[in-house]
Structure 1
Amino acid sequence: MTARRRNRIVDLVQRDGSVSIEELGATFGVSTVTIYRDLADLESLGMIVRQRGVVTAAGSNLQEAPARFRLGQNEPAKRAIARHAAAMVPRGSAVMLDDSTTGVLTARELREQTPLTVVTNSLLVAEEVRASAGMRLVLTGGEYEAWAEALLGPIAAGTVASLAADVCLVSVSGITDGVTYHPYAEVAAVKKAMMRASARSVALIDHTKFRRRALHEVAPLTAFDTVVTDSGTSPEVLERLREGGVSVEVAPDVG
Protein backbone atom coordinates (compact mmCIF):
# COMPACT_ATOMS: atom_id res chain seq x y z
CA MET A 1 0.00 0.00 0.00
CA THR A 2 2.81 2.43 0.88
CA ALA A 3 4.68 1.83 -2.39
CA ARG A 4 1.48 2.19 -4.42
CA ARG A 5 0.60 5.47 -2.68
CA ARG A 6 4.07 6.87 -3.29
CA ASN A 7 3.93 5.94 -6.96
CA ARG A 8 0.58 7.71 -7.24
CA ILE A 9 1.99 10.79 -5.49
CA VAL A 10 4.76 11.02 -8.09
CA ASP A 11 2.24 10.52 -10.91
CA LEU A 12 0.03 13.32 -9.54
CA VAL A 13 2.93 15.73 -9.14
CA GLN A 14 4.26 15.00 -12.63
CA ARG A 15 0.79 15.40 -14.12
CA ASP A 16 -0.18 18.63 -12.33
CA GLY A 17 3.26 20.18 -11.86
CA SER A 18 2.67 20.94 -8.19
CA VAL A 19 0.31 19.95 -5.38
CA SER A 20 -0.06 20.98 -1.75
CA ILE A 21 0.67 18.62 1.12
CA GLU A 22 -2.87 19.17 2.42
CA GLU A 23 -4.31 18.10 -0.94
CA LEU A 24 -2.23 14.92 -0.87
CA GLY A 25 -3.50 14.05 2.61
CA ALA A 26 -7.10 14.55 1.50
CA THR A 27 -6.60 12.61 -1.74
CA PHE A 28 -5.17 9.53 -0.05
CA GLY A 29 -7.08 9.73 3.22
CA VAL A 30 -3.98 9.51 5.41
CA SER A 31 -2.46 11.74 8.06
CA THR A 32 -0.11 14.63 7.36
CA VAL A 33 2.60 12.72 9.22
CA THR A 34 2.25 9.82 6.77
CA ILE A 35 2.40 12.17 3.78
CA TYR A 36 5.51 13.89 5.17
CA ARG A 37 7.15 10.47 5.58
CA ASP A 38 6.28 9.56 1.98
CA LEU A 39 7.61 12.86 0.68
CA ALA A 40 10.86 12.56 2.61
CA ASP A 41 11.56 9.21 0.98
CA LEU A 42 10.57 10.46 -2.49
CA GLU A 43 12.75 13.54 -2.10
CA SER A 44 15.72 11.35 -1.13
CA LEU A 45 15.21 9.50 -4.43
CA GLY A 46 15.24 12.77 -6.35
CA MET A 47 11.64 12.38 -7.49
CA ILE A 48 10.06 15.46 -5.89
CA VAL A 49 10.97 18.75 -4.23
CA ARG A 50 9.23 20.19 -1.13
CA GLN A 51 9.04 23.91 -0.48
CA ARG A 52 6.69 25.74 1.90
CA GLY A 53 3.98 23.12 1.90
CA VAL A 54 3.99 22.61 -1.87
CA VAL A 55 5.36 19.58 -3.70
CA THR A 56 6.78 19.90 -7.21
CA ALA A 57 8.37 17.47 -9.63
CA ALA A 58 12.15 17.33 -9.39
CA GLY A 59 14.25 18.44 -12.32
CA SER A 60 15.54 14.90 -12.76
CA ASN A 61 18.19 15.47 -15.40
CA LEU A 62 20.99 14.20 -13.18
CA GLN A 63 19.58 11.05 -11.58
CA GLU A 64 17.14 8.19 -12.01
CA ALA A 65 15.00 6.47 -9.39
CA PRO A 66 15.64 2.81 -8.50
CA ALA A 67 14.31 0.33 -11.05
CA ARG A 68 11.77 -1.43 -8.83
CA PHE A 69 10.29 1.94 -7.85
CA ARG A 70 9.99 2.98 -11.49
CA LEU A 71 8.18 -0.26 -12.33
CA GLY A 72 5.10 1.09 -10.57
CA GLN A 73 5.14 4.48 -12.29
CA ASN A 74 2.81 5.09 -15.25
CA GLU A 75 2.20 1.35 -15.39
CA PRO A 76 -0.93 1.41 -17.61
CA ALA A 77 0.89 3.48 -20.24
CA LYS A 78 3.98 1.29 -20.08
CA ARG A 79 1.93 -1.91 -20.37
CA ALA A 80 0.15 -0.55 -23.44
CA ILE A 81 3.47 0.34 -25.06
CA ALA A 82 4.98 -3.02 -24.11
CA ARG A 83 2.13 -5.02 -25.63
CA HIS A 84 2.18 -3.02 -28.85
CA ALA A 85 5.96 -3.22 -29.20
CA ALA A 86 6.10 -6.95 -28.46
CA ALA A 87 3.64 -7.62 -31.28
CA MET A 88 6.11 -5.96 -33.67
CA VAL A 89 8.77 -8.62 -32.98
CA PRO A 90 8.64 -11.61 -35.38
CA ARG A 91 8.90 -15.10 -33.94
CA GLY A 92 12.40 -16.50 -34.13
CA SER A 93 14.05 -13.09 -33.81
CA ALA A 94 17.06 -12.05 -31.80
CA VAL A 95 15.92 -9.05 -29.77
CA MET A 96 17.83 -6.70 -27.49
CA LEU A 97 16.08 -5.26 -24.42
CA ASP A 98 17.67 -2.52 -22.34
CA ASP A 99 17.43 -1.97 -18.58
CA SER A 100 14.30 0.21 -18.74
CA THR A 101 11.18 -0.70 -16.78
CA THR A 102 9.16 -0.61 -19.99
CA GLY A 103 11.62 -3.22 -21.22
CA VAL A 104 10.71 -5.44 -18.25
CA LEU A 105 7.02 -5.24 -19.15
CA THR A 106 7.88 -5.88 -22.81
CA ALA A 107 9.75 -9.04 -21.83
CA ARG A 108 6.53 -10.35 -20.25
CA GLU A 109 4.59 -9.65 -23.43
CA LEU A 110 7.23 -11.32 -25.61
CA ARG A 111 6.20 -14.69 -24.19
CA GLU A 112 3.48 -14.62 -26.84
CA GLN A 113 6.10 -14.26 -29.61
CA THR A 114 8.31 -17.26 -28.87
CA PRO A 115 10.66 -18.72 -29.90
CA LEU A 116 13.02 -15.79 -29.35
CA THR A 117 16.56 -15.02 -28.30
CA VAL A 118 16.69 -12.11 -25.86
CA VAL A 119 19.90 -10.19 -25.21
CA THR A 120 19.78 -7.91 -22.18
CA ASN A 121 21.83 -6.16 -19.53
CA SER A 122 18.86 -6.02 -17.14
CA LEU A 123 18.51 -8.55 -14.34
CA LEU A 124 14.80 -7.73 -14.09
CA VAL A 125 14.34 -8.52 -17.79
CA ALA A 126 16.38 -11.69 -17.27
CA GLU A 127 13.98 -12.79 -14.51
CA GLU A 128 11.08 -12.51 -16.94
CA VAL A 129 12.87 -14.24 -19.80
CA ARG A 130 14.14 -17.22 -17.83
CA ALA A 131 10.57 -17.96 -16.73
CA SER A 132 9.63 -18.71 -20.35
CA ALA A 133 10.66 -22.00 -21.94
CA GLY A 134 10.44 -20.46 -25.39
CA MET A 135 13.07 -17.79 -24.84
CA ARG A 136 16.85 -18.11 -24.99
CA LEU A 137 18.56 -15.66 -22.64
CA VAL A 138 21.89 -13.93 -23.31
CA LEU A 139 23.22 -11.68 -20.53
CA THR A 140 25.80 -9.08 -21.46
CA GLY A 141 27.94 -9.25 -18.35
CA GLY A 142 29.38 -6.07 -16.92
CA GLU A 143 29.51 -4.15 -13.66
CA TYR A 144 26.39 -4.58 -11.52
CA GLU A 145 24.59 -1.36 -10.57
CA ALA A 146 22.09 -1.96 -7.77
CA TRP A 147 19.89 1.11 -8.44
CA ALA A 148 19.28 -0.09 -12.02
CA GLU A 149 19.43 -3.82 -11.27
CA ALA A 150 21.47 -3.96 -14.45
CA LEU A 151 24.93 -4.69 -15.84
CA LEU A 152 26.71 -1.62 -17.19
CA GLY A 153 30.13 -0.34 -18.20
CA PRO A 154 32.59 -1.26 -20.98
CA ILE A 155 32.02 -5.03 -20.68
CA ALA A 156 28.26 -4.67 -21.19
CA ALA A 157 28.64 -2.25 -24.11
CA GLY A 158 31.42 -4.38 -25.62
CA THR A 159 29.36 -7.57 -25.51
CA VAL A 160 26.45 -5.83 -27.21
CA ALA A 161 28.78 -4.48 -29.89
CA SER A 162 30.01 -8.00 -30.69
CA LEU A 163 26.49 -9.23 -31.53
CA ALA A 164 24.03 -8.70 -34.38
CA ALA A 165 20.34 -8.61 -33.45
CA ASP A 166 17.19 -8.25 -35.52
CA VAL A 167 15.66 -5.54 -33.35
CA CYS A 168 16.32 -3.58 -30.18
CA LEU A 169 13.64 -2.15 -27.91
CA VAL A 170 14.93 0.68 -25.72
CA SER A 171 13.51 3.48 -23.62
CA VAL A 172 14.90 6.82 -22.47
CA SER A 173 14.41 9.24 -19.59
CA GLY A 174 13.72 12.49 -21.40
CA ILE A 175 13.45 14.22 -24.75
CA THR A 176 14.69 17.69 -25.69
CA ASP A 177 14.29 19.20 -29.16
CA GLY A 178 13.69 15.80 -30.75
CA VAL A 179 16.70 14.14 -29.12
CA THR A 180 16.51 11.39 -26.47
CA TYR A 181 18.56 11.51 -23.27
CA HIS A 182 19.36 9.57 -20.09
CA PRO A 183 20.80 10.84 -16.78
CA TYR A 184 23.75 8.41 -16.79
CA ALA A 185 26.45 8.15 -19.44
CA GLU A 186 27.06 4.42 -18.86
CA VAL A 187 23.36 3.65 -19.42
CA ALA A 188 23.23 5.80 -22.55
CA ALA A 189 26.32 3.98 -23.87
CA VAL A 190 24.61 0.57 -23.69
CA LYS A 191 21.49 1.91 -25.39
CA LYS A 192 23.61 3.36 -28.21
CA ALA A 193 25.45 0.06 -28.58
CA MET A 194 22.15 -1.82 -28.86
CA MET A 195 20.97 0.50 -31.60
CA ARG A 196 24.20 0.05 -33.58
CA ALA A 197 24.05 -3.74 -33.17
CA SER A 198 20.45 -4.12 -34.36
CA ALA A 199 18.90 -4.10 -37.81
CA ARG A 200 15.89 -2.19 -36.43
CA SER A 201 15.52 0.11 -33.43
CA VAL A 202 12.27 0.80 -31.61
CA ALA A 203 11.93 3.49 -28.92
CA LEU A 204 9.47 2.85 -26.08
CA ILE A 205 8.45 6.28 -24.80
CA ASP A 206 5.49 7.01 -22.55
CA HIS A 207 3.90 10.45 -22.53
CA THR A 208 5.70 11.67 -19.40
CA LYS A 209 9.10 11.51 -21.14
CA PHE A 210 8.13 14.37 -23.44
CA ARG A 211 8.02 16.65 -20.38
CA ARG A 212 11.35 15.58 -18.88
CA ARG A 213 14.98 16.48 -19.47
CA ALA A 214 18.11 14.40 -18.91
CA LEU A 215 21.84 14.90 -19.32
CA HIS A 216 23.43 12.40 -21.73
CA GLU A 217 22.35 12.06 -25.35
CA VAL A 218 21.21 8.67 -26.63
CA ALA A 219 19.99 9.41 -30.17
CA PRO A 220 17.67 11.66 -32.17
CA LEU A 221 14.12 10.32 -32.41
CA THR A 222 14.60 10.14 -36.18
CA ALA A 223 17.35 7.53 -35.63
CA PHE A 224 14.71 5.03 -34.50
CA ASP A 225 12.76 3.08 -37.09
CA THR A 226 9.66 3.40 -34.91
CA VAL A 227 8.69 5.30 -31.78
CA VAL A 228 5.91 3.66 -29.75
CA THR A 229 4.07 5.87 -27.28
CA ASP A 230 0.77 5.76 -25.39
CA SER A 231 -2.56 7.55 -25.72
CA GLY A 232 -1.53 10.10 -23.09
CA THR A 233 0.77 11.81 -25.59
CA SER A 234 -0.97 14.95 -26.80
CA PRO A 235 -2.06 15.41 -30.43
CA GLU A 236 0.19 18.47 -30.61
CA VAL A 237 3.26 16.44 -29.65
CA LEU A 238 2.36 13.68 -32.11
CA GLU A 239 1.87 16.19 -34.92
CA ARG A 240 5.19 17.87 -34.17
CA LEU A 241 7.01 14.53 -34.18
CA ARG A 242 5.50 13.43 -37.48
CA GLU A 243 6.25 16.77 -39.08
CA GLY A 244 9.85 16.24 -37.98
CA GLY A 245 10.06 12.92 -39.80
CA VAL A 246 9.58 10.63 -36.78
CA SER A 247 7.64 7.41 -37.36
CA VAL A 248 5.25 7.25 -34.40
CA GLU A 249 2.74 4.58 -33.40
CA VAL A 250 0.26 5.10 -30.55
CA ALA A 251 -0.36 1.95 -28.55
CA PRO A 252 -4.02 1.17 -27.76
CA ASP A 253 -4.95 1.31 -24.08
CA VAL A 254 -5.03 -2.01 -22.23
CA GLY A 255 -7.44 -3.00 -19.49
Structure 2
Amino acid sequence: MTKNDIGVSNCFEATSHPMERHTEILDFLCERETASVGELADRFGVSRMTIHRDISRLVDLRFVRKVRGGVTVLPSVVFESNYHYRARHRFAAKQALARRVAALIEPGMTVMLDDSSTTAALLEFLPERQPLTVISNAASLVEALRYDEGYTVICLGGRFDPTMNAYLGVTCDLALERLSADLAVFSVAGVQRGCGYLQDDALVRTKRIMKASADRSVLAFDSSKFGKSALHQFARLSDFDHVLTTPGGEPAVLDELMSAGVALDVVAGELETSDITAASS
Protein backbone atom coordinates (compact mmCIF):
# COMPACT_ATOMS: atom_id res chain seq x y z
CA MET A 1 0.00 0.00 0.00
CA THR A 2 1.41 3.38 -0.98
CA LYS A 3 1.08 6.71 0.79
CA ASN A 4 -1.35 7.89 -1.85
CA ASP A 5 -3.52 4.81 -1.22
CA ILE A 6 -4.15 5.93 2.33
CA GLY A 7 -4.42 9.59 1.37
CA VAL A 8 -1.12 10.77 2.92
CA SER A 9 0.13 13.89 1.20
CA ASN A 10 3.68 14.36 0.00
CA CYS A 11 3.25 18.12 0.53
CA PHE A 12 1.89 18.36 4.08
CA GLU A 13 3.34 17.10 7.32
CA ALA A 14 0.88 15.01 9.32
CA THR A 15 -0.98 16.74 12.14
CA SER A 16 -0.69 14.23 14.98
CA HIS A 17 -2.96 15.67 17.65
CA PRO A 18 -6.68 15.17 16.85
CA MET A 19 -7.88 18.39 18.56
CA GLU A 20 -5.32 20.47 16.67
CA ARG A 21 -6.33 18.78 13.43
CA HIS A 22 -10.02 19.42 14.13
CA THR A 23 -9.27 23.14 14.51
CA GLU A 24 -7.23 23.15 11.30
CA ILE A 25 -10.01 21.34 9.44
CA LEU A 26 -12.49 23.97 10.62
CA ASP A 27 -10.16 26.77 9.54
CA PHE A 28 -9.82 25.14 6.11
CA LEU A 29 -13.59 24.77 5.79
CA CYS A 30 -14.08 28.42 6.75
CA GLU A 31 -12.32 29.30 3.52
CA ARG A 32 -13.60 26.50 1.28
CA GLU A 33 -17.01 25.71 2.87
CA THR A 34 -16.96 22.17 1.41
CA ALA A 35 -14.21 19.58 1.01
CA SER A 36 -13.95 15.91 0.06
CA VAL A 37 -12.55 13.22 2.34
CA GLY A 38 -9.67 12.65 -0.06
CA GLU A 39 -8.84 16.36 -0.18
CA LEU A 40 -8.73 16.58 3.62
CA ALA A 41 -6.68 13.41 3.94
CA ASP A 42 -4.12 14.74 1.46
CA ARG A 43 -3.96 18.15 3.08
CA PHE A 44 -3.48 16.92 6.63
CA GLY A 45 -1.33 13.91 5.90
CA VAL A 46 -3.56 11.28 7.51
CA SER A 47 -5.60 8.32 6.32
CA ARG A 48 -9.12 8.57 4.99
CA MET A 49 -10.30 6.55 7.99
CA THR A 50 -8.81 9.17 10.32
CA ILE A 51 -10.58 11.93 8.40
CA HIS A 52 -13.86 10.04 8.68
CA ARG A 53 -13.39 9.93 12.46
CA ASP A 54 -12.55 13.64 12.51
CA ILE A 55 -15.68 14.44 10.52
CA SER A 56 -17.83 12.32 12.85
CA ARG A 57 -16.50 14.25 15.83
CA LEU A 58 -17.18 17.62 14.18
CA VAL A 59 -20.67 16.46 13.24
CA ASP A 60 -21.27 15.54 16.91
CA LEU A 61 -20.18 19.08 17.88
CA ARG A 62 -22.66 20.51 15.34
CA PHE A 63 -20.03 22.37 13.34
CA VAL A 64 -20.27 20.47 10.05
CA ARG A 65 -22.61 18.27 8.03
CA LYS A 66 -21.69 15.19 6.04
CA VAL A 67 -22.34 15.26 2.31
CA ARG A 68 -21.67 12.62 -0.34
CA GLY A 69 -17.93 12.00 -0.31
CA GLY A 70 -17.08 14.83 2.07
CA VAL A 71 -18.21 17.48 4.49
CA THR A 72 -19.58 21.02 4.51
CA VAL A 73 -19.62 23.60 7.26
CA LEU A 74 -23.02 24.39 8.77
CA PRO A 75 -24.29 27.79 7.54
CA SER A 76 -25.46 28.91 10.96
CA VAL A 77 -24.32 30.83 13.97
CA VAL A 78 -23.72 27.52 15.79
CA PHE A 79 -20.32 27.35 14.09
CA GLU A 80 -19.29 30.54 15.82
CA SER A 81 -19.38 28.77 19.17
CA ASN A 82 -15.96 27.33 18.32
CA TYR A 83 -13.46 29.63 20.01
CA HIS A 84 -10.57 28.88 17.67
CA TYR A 85 -12.69 29.89 14.70
CA ARG A 86 -14.06 33.02 16.38
CA ALA A 87 -10.61 34.20 17.42
CA ARG A 88 -9.51 34.35 13.76
CA HIS A 89 -12.75 35.65 12.25
CA ARG A 90 -13.10 39.39 11.50
CA PHE A 91 -10.05 40.18 13.58
CA ALA A 92 -9.60 43.76 12.31
CA ALA A 93 -13.20 44.62 13.22
CA LYS A 94 -12.71 43.20 16.70
CA GLN A 95 -9.60 45.31 17.18
CA ALA A 96 -11.50 48.47 16.24
CA LEU A 97 -14.26 47.60 18.73
CA ALA A 98 -11.75 46.72 21.46
CA ARG A 99 -9.96 50.04 21.04
CA ARG A 100 -13.25 51.86 21.61
CA VAL A 101 -14.16 49.68 24.62
CA ALA A 102 -10.75 50.38 26.16
CA ALA A 103 -11.56 54.11 26.10
CA LEU A 104 -14.36 53.38 28.59
CA ILE A 105 -11.97 51.77 31.07
CA GLU A 106 -10.07 53.84 33.61
CA PRO A 107 -7.14 52.81 35.82
CA GLY A 108 -8.26 51.35 39.12
CA MET A 109 -11.55 49.98 37.79
CA THR A 110 -12.89 46.48 38.26
CA VAL A 111 -14.03 45.07 34.93
CA MET A 112 -15.87 41.86 34.06
CA LEU A 113 -14.95 40.40 30.69
CA ASP A 114 -16.98 37.65 29.04
CA ASP A 115 -15.60 34.70 27.07
CA SER A 116 -16.11 36.20 23.59
CA SER A 117 -13.28 36.61 21.09
CA THR A 118 -14.34 40.24 20.64
CA THR A 119 -13.67 40.90 24.31
CA ALA A 120 -10.39 38.98 24.08
CA ALA A 121 -9.17 41.59 21.57
CA LEU A 122 -9.04 44.00 24.53
CA LEU A 123 -5.77 42.39 25.64
CA GLU A 124 -3.81 44.66 23.30
CA PHE A 125 -5.26 47.83 24.84
CA LEU A 126 -5.46 47.02 28.55
CA PRO A 127 -1.82 47.69 29.57
CA GLU A 128 -2.30 51.46 29.29
CA ARG A 129 -5.29 51.16 31.66
CA GLN A 130 -3.41 49.49 34.52
CA PRO A 131 -3.88 48.92 37.38
CA LEU A 132 -7.07 46.91 36.89
CA THR A 133 -9.01 44.16 38.57
CA VAL A 134 -10.21 41.75 35.90
CA ILE A 135 -12.96 39.19 36.53
CA SER A 136 -13.49 36.66 33.75
CA ASN A 137 -14.57 33.14 32.86
CA ALA A 138 -12.45 33.22 29.68
CA ALA A 139 -9.50 30.82 29.90
CA SER A 140 -7.47 32.76 27.32
CA LEU A 141 -7.79 36.05 29.23
CA VAL A 142 -6.88 34.52 32.58
CA GLU A 143 -3.87 32.79 31.05
CA ALA A 144 -2.65 36.00 29.39
CA LEU A 145 -3.05 38.27 32.43
CA ARG A 146 -2.26 36.11 35.44
CA TYR A 147 1.48 36.86 35.67
CA ASP A 148 1.20 40.60 34.95
CA GLU A 149 1.55 42.65 38.14
CA GLY A 150 -0.63 45.37 36.65
CA TYR A 151 -3.74 43.21 37.09
CA THR A 152 -5.56 41.56 39.92
CA VAL A 153 -7.10 38.56 38.15
CA ILE A 154 -10.17 36.77 39.47
CA CYS A 155 -10.86 33.57 37.55
CA LEU A 156 -14.45 32.36 37.62
CA GLY A 157 -14.15 28.62 38.09
CA GLY A 158 -16.59 25.96 37.03
CA ARG A 159 -16.88 23.37 34.29
CA PHE A 160 -14.33 24.01 31.57
CA ASP A 161 -15.84 23.94 28.10
CA PRO A 162 -13.08 23.36 25.50
CA THR A 163 -15.30 24.45 22.63
CA MET A 164 -15.99 27.83 24.23
CA ASN A 165 -12.54 27.92 25.90
CA ALA A 166 -14.36 29.16 29.00
CA TYR A 167 -15.58 28.17 32.46
CA LEU A 168 -19.33 27.74 32.77
CA GLY A 169 -21.99 26.19 34.96
CA VAL A 170 -23.33 26.50 38.49
CA THR A 171 -19.94 27.02 40.18
CA CYS A 172 -19.14 29.91 37.85
CA ASP A 173 -22.56 31.49 38.32
CA LEU A 174 -22.44 31.24 42.14
CA ALA A 175 -19.05 32.95 42.18
CA LEU A 176 -20.42 35.79 40.05
CA GLU A 177 -23.32 36.41 42.44
CA ARG A 178 -20.81 37.34 45.15
CA LEU A 179 -18.84 39.81 43.06
CA SER A 180 -19.39 43.28 41.64
CA ALA A 181 -17.69 45.42 39.01
CA ASP A 182 -17.62 48.92 37.58
CA LEU A 183 -18.01 47.74 33.98
CA ALA A 184 -18.92 44.49 32.20
CA VAL A 185 -18.05 43.84 28.55
CA PHE A 186 -19.98 41.43 26.29
CA SER A 187 -20.48 40.28 22.74
CA VAL A 188 -23.19 38.17 21.11
CA ALA A 189 -23.63 35.68 18.28
CA GLY A 190 -26.58 37.41 16.66
CA VAL A 191 -28.71 40.55 16.80
CA GLN A 192 -32.39 40.60 15.83
CA ARG A 193 -35.47 42.58 16.81
CA GLY A 194 -33.46 44.81 19.13
CA CYS A 195 -32.04 41.90 21.16
CA GLY A 196 -28.73 40.07 21.41
CA TYR A 197 -28.80 36.28 21.05
CA LEU A 198 -26.54 33.36 21.98
CA GLN A 199 -26.68 29.70 21.08
CA ASP A 200 -25.76 28.13 24.44
CA ASP A 201 -28.08 28.44 27.45
CA ALA A 202 -25.20 28.15 29.94
CA LEU A 203 -23.56 31.17 28.32
CA VAL A 204 -26.79 33.14 28.62
CA ARG A 205 -27.13 32.40 32.34
CA THR A 206 -23.54 33.37 33.08
CA LYS A 207 -23.67 36.58 31.06
CA ARG A 208 -26.96 37.67 32.60
CA ILE A 209 -25.54 37.28 36.11
CA MET A 210 -22.37 39.08 35.04
CA LYS A 211 -24.41 41.97 33.65
CA ALA A 212 -26.51 42.23 36.83
CA SER A 213 -23.30 42.38 38.89
CA ALA A 214 -21.86 45.42 37.11
CA ASP A 215 -22.68 49.13 37.48
CA ARG A 216 -22.38 49.68 33.71
CA SER A 217 -22.32 47.37 30.71
CA VAL A 218 -21.11 47.55 27.12
CA LEU A 219 -22.08 45.31 24.21
CA ALA A 220 -19.70 45.13 21.24
CA PHE A 221 -20.27 43.19 18.01
CA ASP A 222 -19.33 43.57 14.37
CA SER A 223 -22.09 44.48 11.94
CA SER A 224 -22.23 40.99 10.39
CA LYS A 225 -24.15 39.89 13.50
CA PHE A 226 -27.20 41.90 12.44
CA GLY A 227 -29.91 39.54 11.25
CA LYS A 228 -28.17 36.40 12.51
CA SER A 229 -30.17 33.98 14.59
CA ALA A 230 -29.33 32.00 17.72
CA LEU A 231 -31.44 29.98 20.11
CA HIS A 232 -31.49 32.05 23.32
CA GLN A 233 -32.15 35.71 23.96
CA PHE A 234 -29.47 37.31 26.13
CA ALA A 235 -30.72 40.88 26.60
CA ARG A 236 -32.28 43.84 24.85
CA LEU A 237 -29.77 46.25 23.33
CA SER A 238 -31.51 49.13 25.09
CA ASP A 239 -30.50 47.59 28.43
CA PHE A 240 -26.80 48.32 27.82
CA ASP A 241 -25.11 51.61 28.65
CA HIS A 242 -23.04 51.41 25.47
CA VAL A 243 -23.66 49.40 22.27
CA LEU A 244 -20.78 49.36 19.78
CA THR A 245 -20.82 48.00 16.25
CA THR A 246 -18.83 48.45 13.04
CA PRO A 247 -19.78 50.01 9.69
CA GLY A 248 -21.94 47.93 7.38
CA GLY A 249 -25.26 47.70 9.19
CA GLU A 250 -28.38 48.69 7.28
CA PRO A 251 -29.19 52.37 7.95
CA ALA A 252 -32.87 51.59 8.57
CA VAL A 253 -31.93 49.05 11.27
CA LEU A 254 -29.53 51.46 12.94
CA ASP A 255 -32.10 54.26 12.90
CA GLU A 256 -34.72 51.97 14.41
CA LEU A 257 -32.40 50.98 17.25
CA MET A 258 -31.48 54.56 18.08
CA SER A 259 -35.14 55.59 17.99
CA ALA A 260 -35.81 52.81 20.51
CA GLY A 261 -33.30 54.34 22.91
CA VAL A 262 -30.27 52.17 22.15
CA ALA A 263 -27.00 53.99 22.96
CA LEU A 264 -25.51 52.93 19.64
CA ASP A 265 -22.06 53.93 18.44
CA VAL A 266 -20.77 52.88 15.01
CA VAL A 267 -17.03 52.47 15.44
CA ALA A 268 -14.86 53.45 12.50
CA GLY A 269 -11.52 51.76 12.07
CA GLU A 270 -9.16 50.05 9.69
CA LEU A 271 -11.53 47.21 8.88
CA GLU A 272 -10.81 44.45 6.45
CA THR A 273 -12.64 44.78 3.16
CA SER A 274 -14.14 41.32 3.70
CA ASP A 275 -15.64 42.51 6.99
CA ILE A 276 -17.67 45.28 5.37
CA THR A 277 -18.54 43.20 2.31
CA ALA A 278 -19.84 40.32 4.42
CA ALA A 279 -21.80 42.65 6.66
CA SER A 280 -23.57 44.34 3.77
CA SER A 281 -24.31 41.17 1.78
TM over 0.5: yes
Kept in 1: contact 2:196–2:237 (CA 8 A): yes
Count of residues in correspondence between the two structures: 239
The correspondence of residues 101-116 of structure 1 with structure 2, limited to 5 A, is: 101-116=117-132
Conserved 8 A contact 2:26-2:85:
no
| Aligned partners of 1:4 and 1:72 also within 8 Å | no
Q: Secondary structure at the match of 1:211?
A: coil
Q: Deviations over 1:101-139 (max 9, x none)?
A: 111111332122111100000111112222533111001
- 2:6 is aligned to none
What SS does the aligned partner of 1:103 have? helix
- What is the match of residue 39 of structure 2? 33
Letter in 2 for 1:59: S
Matched, 1:161 2:180: no
Contact 1:77/1:232, CA 8 A, preserved across alignment: no
Deviation for aligned residue 1:59: 2.8
**Corresponding residue for 1:59?**
76
Counterpart of 2:88, as a letter, is G
Query: Which of residues 96, 99, 103 in structure 2 aligns to 1:87?
Result: 103
Mapped to 2, the partners of 1:211 and 1:7 lie a distance apart of: 24
In structure 1, give the amino acid aligned to 2:261. G
SS in 1 for 2:133: strand
Counterpart of 2:241 in structure 1: which amino acid?
A: D
Quote the offset at 1:177 in angstroms: 0.9
Q: Give the aligned partner of residue 149 of structure 1.
A: 165
Note closer, same or farther for the CA distance 1:101–1:162 as it changes in structure 2 (3 Å cut).
same
Counterpart of 1:223?
239
**Contact 1:47–1:58, Cα closer than 8 Å, also in 2:** no
| Cα shift at 1:6 | 5.9
SS at match of 1:169: strand
Match of residue 94, structure 2, among 71, 78, 81: 78
Aligned residue for 2:86, secondary structure, equals helix
C-alpha deviation, 1:228, in angstroms:
0.9
For 2:146, give the aligned amino acid: R
Asked if 1:247 corresponds to 2:263, the answer is yes
Q: Deviations over 1:74-104 (max 9, x none)?
A: 1111111111111111111000001111111
Q: Distance in 2 between matches of 1:206 and 1:237?
A: 14
> Which of the two has higher C-alpha Rg?
2
Task: Give the structure 2 partner of residue 140 of structure 1.
Answer: 156
Which residue identity lines up with residue 112 of structure 2 in the other structure? M
Alignment partners' CA distance in 2, 1:187 and 1:6: 22
- Identical aligned residues as a percent: 29
| TM-aligned CA deviation for residue 51 of structure 1 | 7.0
The one-letter code of the counterpart of 1:58 is P
What amino acid maps onto 2:140 in structure 1?
A: L
Query: Looking at both structures, which has the greater relative contact order when contacts are Cα pairs under 8 Å and sequence separation is at least 6?
Result: 1
Structure 2 unmatched ranges of 5 or more = 1-11, 13-20, 45-53, 272-281
Flag structure 1 segments of 5+ consecutive residues without an equivalent. 14-20, 25-31
The answer as to whether partners of 1:226 and 1:247 remain within 8 angstroms in 2 is yes
Displacement of 1:65 in angstroms is 3.2
Supply the RMSD in Å over aligned alpha carbons. 3.2
Output the CA distance in 1 between the equivalents of 2:181 and 2:31: 35
Answering whether residue 106 of structure 2 is matched by residue 100 of structure 1, we say: no
CA contact (8 A) 2:105 2:129 kept: yes
Match for residue 221 of structure 2?
Answer: 205
Deviation at 1:35, TM superposition (A): 11
DSSP-derived class of the 2:120 partner: helix
Per-residue displacement from partner, 1:151-200 (whole Å, max 9, x unpaired)? 10111111111111000001111122111111111111111011100000
Greater shift in the superposed pair: 124-133 or 140-149: 124-133
Structure 1 residue 233, shift from structure 2 partner: 2.8
